[in-house]
Structure 1
Amino acid sequence: MGALMNPEHSWPIPPPGGWTADDLDTLPNLPPHTELIDGSLVFVSPQTRFHMRAVNFLTRHLMDQQPPGLEVFREFTIDIDRHNRPEPDLIIVDESAVGDLNQTRLPAASVHLAIEVVSPESVGRDRGVKPVKYAEAGILHFWRVEHKDGRAVVYVYELDPSTRSYGTAGIFHDRLKVSSPFDIDLDLTSITPERRTAE
């Protein structure tokens, strides 16, 4: 009974109209990687081993392949509008948008590619809500990475500027090779090496 009367955690109560992008930098005691979607705080659940492997793999290899003038950021929030400040798993941005070491977010206009690695708790956001936000913000390229049948599958999307929505540019299972936003060639079987060994 005492535990019910004195809860261990006290959750922030949103103001009328919801939280704003600036609030993410000032609200105390937020869990790491808290996002703002439509004025609501979204807390990230513990990640799976696949999620960790995929993000590590993509970070390492995209950094190796990126051309001058671009930079890869992992788990860094982007400003879409006053009530939306999501945190993609990875983004590739214009180097010119990168400020000092105290910077906590980047403008969506600087993002060339946003990547989401899907976790069980994030399926709805990663397949539906966040791609719509990214497209409306004008981000030209979006990848969704999923774990299916023991392997990594990458769904690649490109923005149609006339409709501000994404169209499918390809679905990749073992190897991902694209020329936009720059030349990228990835061996996706390296994300799940135990499957490759079993085969």
Structure 2
Amino acid sequence: MQGLSPHAQLIDGGLVFASPQRKWNASVVGFLWAELDAQAPDGHRADREMAVRLGKHQVPEPDVLVVSTEAFERETPDTHYLPQDLLLVVEAVSPDSVDHDRETKPCKYARAGIPYFWRVENEGGRTVVYTYQLDPATKGYGLTGIHHGRLKTDAPFPVVVDLAAVRAKRG
């Protein structure tokens, strides 16, 4: 998808262009990217806003991704990751992307076999993280937690994040 505006995504064969990013989205994406990269286990790295080639007509761009170090350091392809490279995808929901981030993209990530998905919402000025794990039998995500104020989980690896710090940065 060279030559297109930054952050264009291919969803169901159609181009989806990102609206201008809101301050909360920029803040939460940068914050979670840094936290996940710092806390990722050996053999994994966090990246942000990179395309994932799920299929011929499916190339979404998650806000944050946790990938294998091998995939992170790989020289080619350098424009996207493949589903098998990913451990976790994170989508920060904005008013312009609600349907894609809550419904369309999680279904596609699950069908591609990506083990974990997090959805991040701004609920009345508070950052809330919904965590999901793939059920391999149904190829769908099951909710594993709703985190207010503090995100603490052992899956896909031990993570502790002070979600209130996001609000403090961009209140």
TM over 0.5: yes
What does 1:68-147 align with in structure 2 at a 5 Å threshold?
68-98=42-72, 99-100=74-75, 103-147=78-122
User: How has the CA–CA distance of structure 1 residues 74 and 194 changed in structure 2, closer, same or farther, with 3 Å as cutoff?
Assistant: closer
Please give the alpha-carbon distance, in whole angstroms, between the structure 1 residues aligned to 2:160 and 2:167: 17
Provide Cα deviations, 1:112-132, integer angstroms capped at 9, x if missing partner.
000000011000000000000
Query: Does residue 151 of structure 1 match 2:113?
Result: no
What does 1:41-80 align with in structure 2 at a 5 Å threshold?
41-80=15-54
Q: CA RMSD in A?
A: 1.5
* Structure 1 residue runs without a partner (length 5+): 1-23
Please give the alpha-carbon distance, in whole angstroms, between the structure 2 residues aligned to 1:194 and 1:53: 7
Of 134, 137, 158, 1:162 maps to: 137
Alignment partner, residue 184 of structure 1: 159
TM-score of the superposition, structure 1-length normalised? Answer: 0.82
Q: Supply the AA of the counterpart residue of 1:73.
A: D
Tell me how far 1:143 sits from its aligned partner.
0.3
Larger radius of gyration: 1
Across the two proteins, how many residue pairs are aligned to each other? 170
User: How has the CA–CA distance of structure 1 residues 81 and 101 changed in structure 2, closer, same or farther, with 3 Å as cutoff?
Assistant: closer
Tell me how far 1:97 sits from its aligned partner.
2.1
Q: Supply the AA of the counterpart residue of 2:122.
A: H
Tell me how far 1:101 sits from its aligned partner.
7.4
Provide Cα deviations, 1:22-63, integer angstroms capped at 9, x if missing partner.
xx13xx3x1100000011111000011110110111011111
8 Å CA contact 1:150–1:195 kept in 2: the answer is no
Moved over 4 A (4+): none
Tell me how far 1:194 sits from its aligned partner.
7.0
Provide Cα deviations, 1:62-83, integer angstroms capped at 9, x if missing partner.
1111111101110000110111
Please give the alpha-carbon distance, in whole angstroms, between the structure 1 residues aligned to 2:54 and 2:111: 9
More RCO (CA 8 Å, sep 6+): 2
Query: Does residue 34 of structure 1 match 2:8?
Result: yes
Please give the alpha-carbon distance, in whole angstroms, between the structure 1 residues aligned to 2:103 and 2:13: 17
